[in-house]
Amino acid sequence: MHPRNYGPLENPSGIGVGHSEQSGEFVIFYISAKDNLLENVGYATNGCHDTVVLGSMFTEMIKGESLDYAHTAAQKLREKVAQGPIKQQACAQMVLTAFEAAQTHQKQKENGSSEELYAIEIGMECEVES
């Protein structure tokens, strides 16, 4: 009912999108990272409740942590949801892909890119039929 870290950040160092063209769902992930530390994170989505919950959980896990820790947390989350329903796997994939895209965007900005964000298409659809 009250997701944490939901919404954009002011002046993020990276903005990434995980998008499913099949369903039109997306997650936008915002990071403010400096010297390998995730000072702040945020996300937004038009996805289902599972996507909102997974986004909230993941951002709480990594906020204030090192990027190395965040990569480990992302891998553990992938492993955990891989045992669950396909829908949860797709929702997690969208969140984690958006996080990956935000890091890519930050690196591109550091190398002089003026793109507003970086997007990655996922091959799964969150809204699967039961």
Concatenated DSSP letters of 65-118: SBHHHHHHHHHHHHHHHTTS-HHHHHHHHHHHHHHHHHHHHHHHHHTT---S-E
Record the pTM: 0.93
Higher per-residue confidence, 39 vs 125: 39
What are phi and psi for residue 86, nearest 5 degrees? -55, -40
Strand order in the sheet with 118-121: 37-45, 26-34, 14-19, 118-121
pLDDT tens digit sequence for 75-120: 999 999 899 888 889 999 999 999 999 999 999 999 999 999 999 9
pLDDT-derived band at 129, boundaries 50, 70, 90? very low
CATH hierarchy code of domain 14-121: 3.90.1010.10
Domain boundaries, the chain: 14-121
